[in-house]
Chains A and B, each alone.
Chain A
Amino acid sequence: MIAIIKYNAGNVQSVQYALQRIGATAVVTDDFDIIRKADKVIFPGVGHAQSAMQYLREKGLDQLLLSLQQPVLGICLGLQLMCKHSEEGNTDCLGIFDTDVKLFSSAELKVPQIGWNNIYSYKSVLFNGLSEQAFMYTVHSYYAALCNETVAMTDYIVPFSAALQKDNFYAVQFHPEKSGTAGETILKNFIQIP
């Protein structure tokens, strides 16, 4: 069973639908017992880093997340919250990944980045069977800087972390749940992690 963490960030329903489409069952929950016992945990999110972190702390979900031993997948804001610090609201985050989240800054390119961009330099089981330079749907104004835990890259204004991985923690900046069959491949790979 997969637990999708319910908190004050949007778009959790889309992740549940995407898992249903690939034949997996998931519950959207903030119940600590259910999350602890789940085979896999997904930490999705579209929202603001500061208000999301504040909510996680109030509910104790931050400590719960850090204590999880099963595979955990952060998506979008979920990835950013798993880093050390975010420039969005000058927020201290969970610190799972050894990198910081910065605001895109460009005179020429539009912010947020909205649309399909290609990812490359895969170094994780998440990308098994995925063609090189696969396109993923992405919507974000902030990005995680490259670091030793970067397991896929993408370019917009600067090269940055499309995906991060450390121990049982996985995270992607793009939205696999909205990225067509390529995104479904990534979700399937995550589900199959032992």
Chain B
Amino acid sequence: MLTKRIIPCLDIRDGRTVKGVNFENIRDAGDPVELALLYSQQGADELVFLDITATVEKRKTLVELVKRIAANINIPFTVGGGISTVEDVAILLQHGADKVSVNTAAFKNPELIADLSNRFGSQCVVLAIDTKKEADGEWYVYLNGGRTKTDTKTIDWARQAVALGAGEILLTSMNNDGTKAGFAVDITLLLSTALPVPVIASGGAGTMEHFKEIFLEGSADAALAASIFHYKEIGIPELKQYLSAQDISIRL
């Protein structure tokens, strides 16, 4: 039986893992390759690396990092952050990344998704969406690491992106991110039931119960978290044991 996935996320800046709250107040959380190794040994099902300061001159650092990760870990990983061209993706995949995530550049140029999916296959194209629930009760797409609001509803963009060839959605709720108050169940459930592709829920994990909730009530295919793993507030082995005991299909 296909299992629900637990995915630690490593936000990368200048080659280091960092973590902020609500996309702000960034602090250092260690060496990404060391952390990646630790997580893979502990039973993480997959890893996501997001380069949050992906300026042109830093891209080479990222490629070197991708090589180190690919050489050292034996589970799949996704790389994202500032990816805007087919060439960016070709380089990352060549150096061992299994998937890439695209966000702002894909929103501004949706054809990028079609180009990537035609060239590399939809299985390696993850669409990352940063979303925020507004006063009108609707979830909207935000760009540029959550700094720029758009007038597009998240469900509409997700549908369009999947039609273009996105193979997976990485959905981060800005309302929940960093709060440790739980994942955004409603928007995750909406996307997961409306779309034929897997949805990775992100933002808000604070307790093991939050993971249970997002799998059972939000129908997430995978759940992503960062700080609770980096700061050892929840161990991956104990989390997976807990979820398995709740009759959730988990790889132990």
B40/A180 in contact, CB under 8 A: yes
**Which residues of B67-87 have CB atoms within 8 Å of chain A's CB atoms?**
70-72, 74-76
Residues of chain B within 8 A (CB-CB) of A20 are 71
Given the known interface contacts A10-B124, A114-B167, A135-B251, the answer about A17 and B1 at a Cβ–Cβ threshold of 8 Å is no
A46/B1 in contact, CB under 8 A: no
Q: How far is the CA of A47 from the CA of B121 in the complex (A)?
A: 6
The 10 listed contacts between A and B (C-beta, < 8 Å) are: A10-B121, A13-B70, A14-B98, A18-B74, A112-B167, A114-B198, A117-B2, A177-B74, A178-B76, A179-B74
Interface residues of chain B: helix, strand, loop or mixed (majority): loop
Report yes or no: A115 in contact with B2, Cβ–Cβ below 8 A.
yes
Chain B residues whose C-beta falls within 8 Å of the C-beta of A118 in the assembled complex: 1
| B residues less than 8 Å from A48 (CB atoms) | 121
Question: Which residues of A sit under 8 angstroms from B3, Cβ to Cβ?
Answer: 115-117, 135
Which residues does chain B contribute within 8 Å of A141, judged by CB atoms? 123
Given contacts A137-B75, A184-B74, contact A115 B222 (CB under 8 A): yes
| Minimum CB–CB distance for A67 against chain B, Å | 29
Question: Is the beta-carbon distance between A110 and B196 smaller than 8 angstroms?
Answer: yes
The answer to whether the Cβ of A139 comes within 8 Å of any Cβ in the partner chain is yes
How many residue pairs bridge A and B at CB < 8 Å?
86
Tell me whether chain A's interface is mostly helix, strand or loop, or mixed: mixed
Flag the segment in B49-57, B89-97, B129-137, B228-236 that touches A: B89-97
Which one of B1, B46, B70, B221 has the highest number of Cβ atoms from chain A below 10 Å of its Cβ?
A: B1
Residue B45 is within 8 A (CB to CB) of chain A in the complex: yes
Contact residue range for chain B? 20 to 34
Is residue B29 within 8 Å, beta carbon to beta carbon, of the partner chain? no
Contact flag A112-B123 (CB < 8 Å), given A178-B74, A180-B74 = yes
In the complex, A30 has a CB within 8 A of chain B? no
Contacting residue for B123 out of A114, A135, A177, CB 8 A: A114
Known interface pairs A46-B120, A135-B3, A178-B75; 15 further A-B residue pairs with C-beta atoms within 8 A, sorted by A's residue number? A11-B98, A14-B98, A21-B71, A110-B198, A112-B122, A114-B168, A114-B221, A115-B4, A116-B5, A116-B45, A117-B1, A137-B76, A177-B74, A178-B74, A180-B75
- In B89-145, which residues have CB < 8 Å from any A CB? 93-96, 98, 120-124
Q: Say how far B89's CB is from chain A's closest CB, in angstroms.
A: 10
* B243 / chain A contacts, CB cutoff of 8 Å: none
